[in-house]
Structures are given as C-alpha cells and as structure tokens.
Amino acid sequence: MWSARQIPTNATGGTWGRVGGPSAGGLLELIRTGRARTRRDLLEITGLSRSSVAARVGQLVGAGYVNESGVEMAVRGRPSTVLVFNEGHGVVLAADLGATHARAAICDLAGRTLGEVARELSISNGPAVVLSWLESSWRDLLASHDITHHLIVGFGIGVPGPVDVATGRPIRPPIMPGWHNYPVTERLEQTFGVPGVLENDANLMALGEFHSGLSSCPSLLFVKVSTGIGAGMVVDGRLVRGIHGGSGDIGHVRLANPESGPLCACGARGCLAASASGGAIARRLREQGRPVHTSREAVQLAHDRDPAAVALVREAGIQLGGVLATAVSLLNPQVLVIGGDLVELQEHFMVSLKEVLYQRTQPLATRDLHVRTSSLGDRAGIVGAANLVVEEVFSAESVDRTLAGKPWSLSGT
Ligand SMILES: [Zn+2]
C-alpha cells in the first residue's frame, strides 16, 4: 500500500512506489497533515506536473475533501491559493468502553468533540446491553446536534481487551465475559451504514496522547493502569499492533511463581494485573475486610492516606516499574505516558514506579526518556478513536477508492 507517510521529505531523491506519482488521495494526505498548503507546495514536494496537480486538486475540491481558503503571498511569482482539509466534510462516531465506565461522542474531522455522554456501565454486562446503549447514545447525540446520518464517515470503538482489528472482534478478553469473537464492527456497520474500527483501549489512548501535543514524538509508549493494565505504542505516527493486535498486553506478564501468585482474571496466577492494577488493589483491600469495590474507590482511599491502601499502591508502582523497565529496555521510547486511575497518586504511585524504572534500565535507554502522566485523562480514548478513524477514512488508499466509486472497509487496513 502506498502511503504519503512514506514520502521522503526530500522528494527529489525518493521513489514514489507507484508509476505516475502520488494520486489525489496522496495529495490529500499532504494537505491534511499540513505538509502542503498550496498547489506550489504540492508541485515542489511531489515532482508532479502542474497539470497533474491541478487535475487531482480539482478532484479533491469537487468531492468536498478540500476547501480553497484565501491566498498565500510568494517571495517570487504570483500569490497561491491556500488549500485546507475540509474538517466539516463529515463526523466521526467515537466510543471508549472501559471495564466499568462507558463514553460515547461525536467528533468533527479535526478530532474535536461536538457532543459527548458518559456513564457507569460494566463491560461485563455483555455486548447486547453495552452495544445497545452505545447505539442509542450515538443516535441521541446525532439528533440533539441536528446531524444527519449521511455526514457520518465512520466509527471507532475502544474496549479493555485484546482485539483482532482485521475482523473487528474481541479475542478471549479476560475481563469481558460474553464478548469473545462477537462481531462488534459488523453489527455497528449494519446499524449506521458506515465502516468502523474496534481497537484495544490502551492503543486508542496512546494515539490520543500522540495527537495531543506529542505528534512530533517518534516513539511513544502509553500504559493504562485502572481496573486492568494495558499498553499501546505509537512509532513514527503509527500504532504498533503486532501481527494479530496482541502487542502491549502487559497486564499478564508474570511477576511471581505461578504456584504462589494471586489468581488473575485470565485464569493464570501471578500476572502483573493481578497485583498492580486498581482492580487488584480493591480486591486486596476487600480481603482485609474493607468495603472497596472499584479501582476508583481504592484510589480515593489512598488519596485519603489510608495506610493499607497507600502500601498497596506503592507496591503496585514498584511492580509496574519493574515490568516497564523491561519494556523501555526493549523499545527505548522517547516518551512514556502513564494513564488511568492510579496516576493521580503522584507521591505514592508515580514516585515508586519511576524509582524502579530508572534503577533497572541502562542509562542509554532512559537518558532522553520523558515520563509523564496522561494529559487527556478519561478522554484519551475518545480522542484516539476519532483520530484513528480520520486517518483510515482519509488515507491515500481509502480516498482513492472512494473517488473511484469502489466499496471499501476500514477493517484490516
Ligand atoms: Zn492474567
């Protein structure tokens, strides 16, 4: 697949990977990502002829992908018309379904939220209950914002478990009973008549953080610590999913001897998530006779300086720091973003995590590493979902297929 992301910045020495140079879809990627503002920029970057650029931009303007907006003065020659991606060309349906909390939103093509609803909703209620809520929430949001169905370009949904992105189905998700192999995207494609993507929630959060002030970061690792633990990676602007979408599932890395560790939701003993997640801390407090049911309640107790909760949170930071030392040694990322309920506990959680992380890594792996907490908090998944859908729907390949009048699907792209 040809992608504008592969365009060398000095295009004169590069190859295009396709006879005839970049297509109309390829030019749209250059405009949408801000690398080209005028026809002159497109001529210089692509090396296409003036007539080819004019014809392809004409196609994009005609289809409503691009607007002409004002002029840019040139040092030499005539002023150029400025080309901008038409962010009002459609809307994206975005959703973040967490273990105990669900969020649905409508976003414009710049990823800005136009409307959003959130509620407590356990993913363990199963797909029938959760997806019915999602369908009616999106319908209500569309109606209350007076948005007609034909403006929807696609949908993106995050879930707290492993996902086969090619089929749009969760695969043996430990904390999502009833969801294994459920055709999530198929169902919603039928409901709304547009293609969509199902993703692991930590992957979407990684992408959300990337698009919120870190888009120049070449390598970002995001870790979510809430009811469970998951991680997502964005390298060179792309999610790293592994061959089946299984990368980043660090919650089930074994810490202890399988015989002696606590039982995990996946059925194994000694997993990181079975002792260092917010859900595990809540369970251990319950075993001590405390009325704590959720990750958030456990975090609140630690906030209030309850000694047992603080001790468990510190231990969780140490355990996660140890596993992240391995991850950082493997990947050498530039930014490590920690998100989820526990990051509020800077003093107890983040300090112990960082201490172990730096102790157990070589200086070269952490010399320029920035460890930070999520800037988007609860909204990272929604922002990531909206951006992922826009990237897929307006990729060079998808746009070319649409312009050619061919059917296409987001699944598997
Ligand atoms: Zn496990």
Q: pLDDT higher for 287 or 10? A: 287
Predicted confidence (pLDDT) at residue 386 exceeds the cutoff of 90: yes
pLDDT at 407: 60
Q: Average pLDDT of 260-276?
A: 91
Q: How confident is the model at residue 409 (pLDDT cuts 50, 70, 90)?
A: low
What CATH number has the domain spanning 91-206+380-403? 3.30.420.40
**pLDDT tens by residue, 38-78:** 999 999 999 999 999 999 999 999 999 999 988 887 777 78
Report how far ligand 1's centroid is from the alpha carbon of 93 (Å): 31
In this structure, whether the domain defined by 216-374 belongs to CATH 3.30.420.40 is answered with: yes
Q: Kindly give the distance from the C-alpha atom of residue 253 to the centroid of ligand 1, in angstroms, as a whole number.
A: 7
CA of 263 to the centre of ligand 1 (A): 8
- 3-state SS, one letter per residue, for 163-185: EECCCCEECCCCCCCCCCCCCHH
The rounded Å distance from CA 252 to ligand 1 centre is 4
Domain ranges of the chain: 4-11+20-85, 91-206+380-403, 216-374
- How far away, in angstroms, is 176 Cα from ligand 1 center? 13
Distance CA 176, CA 127 (A): 9
What confidence tens digit (pLDDT) does each residue in 81-124 have?
Answer: 999 999 988 999 999 999 999 999 999 999 899 999 999 999 99
Distance from residue 124's CA to the centre of ligand 1 (Å): 17
Torsion of CA 146, 151, 154, 157, to 10 degrees: -10
pLDDT band at 14 (very low <50, low <70, confident <90, very high): very low
- Is the pLDDT score of 8 beyond 60? no
CA of 259 to the centre of ligand 1 (A): 13
pLDDT of residue 9: 31
Q: Which fold has domain 4-11+20-85?
A: Arc Repressor Mutant, subunit A (1.10.10)
Rounded distance between C-alpha atoms, residue 391 and residue 6, angstroms = 14
Length of the chain: 413
Does pLDDT of 236 surpass 60?
Answer: yes
Three-class DSSP labels, the chain: CCCHHHCCCCHHHCCCCCCCCCCHHHHHHHHHCCCCCEHHHHHHHHCCCHHHHHHHHHHHHHCCCEEEEEEECCCCCCCEEEEEECCCCCEEEEEEECCCEEEEEEEECCCCEEEEEEEECCHHHCHHHHHHHHHHHHHHHHHHCCCCHHHEEEEEEEECCCEECCCCEECCCCCCCCCCCCCHHHHHHHHHCCCEEEEEHHHHHHHHHHCCCCCCCCEEEEEEECCCEEEEEEECCEECCCCCCCCCCHHHCECCCCCCCCECCCCCECECHHHHCHHHHHHHHHHCCCCCCCHHHHHHHHHCCCHHHHHHHHHHHHHHHHHHHHHHHHHCCCEEEEECHHHHCHHHHHHHHHHHHHHCCCHHHHCCCEEEECCCHHHHHHHHHHHHHHHHHCCHHHHHHHHCCCCCCCCCC
Identical fold at 4-11+20-85 and 216-374? no
Give distance in angstroms: CA of 248 to centre of ligand 1: 13
Residue 324 has pLDDT above 70, yes or no: yes
CA of 227 to the centre of ligand 1 (A): 12
CA of 101 to the centre of ligand 1 (A): 21
Dist CA 119 CA 266 (whole Å): 26
Q: Which two tokens stand for residue 291?
A: 């009325």
